[in-house]
Amino acid sequence: MFDIDLQSRVPIYEQLYKKTIELIIKGVLSENDQLPSVRALAKELGVNPNTVAKAYQELERSKVIYSLSGRGSFISRISDMEIKEYALIDFDESVREALKAGVTPDELKNRIDAVTEKERSAP
C-alpha cells in the first residue's frame, strides 16, 4: 500500500507524506481510519522509524491526520480543495516556466490530455 522508492532522490518521509494523501484521494483511506503504527510501518517498509515518525508529524501539522496519544494516528476530515491546493501551486509554477520557454497555452492543454491518457492506461 505504502510502496516507496528507496533509491529515489525524493526523501522517504516526503514520499510517505504524498502517498498518504494519494491514498485518501483514491478512497483507500477515509476519515477516522487508523494508520499503521510508526514502528509497524517502518518495519514493513524497511526504513528507520524516525523517518515514518517525521512523515506522520508533517501530516499532522498539515491537519491531514490527527493522533490520539497512546492510541495511534487517524485520518482527519479534509476537504478535497485543501488537497488540490498543494498540487496546484506546483502546477501554476510549471505553467509559468513553460510559457517562458515559448510553449503556447494550447500546446500545454494538449499535453494535459496526453498525460491523462497515459496515466489512465498505466497508473
- When asked if residue 91 is in the footprint of a second copy (CB under 8 A), the reply is yes
- The cell for 77 is 476530515
- When asked if residue 68 is in the footprint of a second copy (CB under 8 A), the reply is yes
Please report which residue ranges of the chain form alpha helices under DSSP H: 12-25, 38-45, 49-61, 80-100, 105-121
CB 119: neighbour CB atoms within 10 A?
9
84 contact, one of DNA, a second copy, none, CB 5-8 Å limit per kind: a second copy
- When asked if residue 78 is in the footprint of a second copy (CB under 8 A), the reply is no
Total binding residues toward DNA, as defined by CB under 7 A: 27
- The answer to whether 35 touches 56, Cβ cutoff 8 Å, is yes
- The answer to whether 108 touches 67, Cβ cutoff 8 Å, is no
Binding mask 45-64 for a second copy (x = CB under 8 A): ---x----------------
Contacts of 60 (CB under 8 A, 6+ apart): 66, 67, 73
Exactly one of 3, 7, 27, 69 binds DNA (CB under 7 A); that residue is 69
Residues that bind a second copy (CB under 8 A): 6-7, 9, 11-12, 18, 21-22, 25-26, 48, 66-70, 80, 83-84, 86-88, 90-103, 105, 107-109, 111-113, 115-116, 119
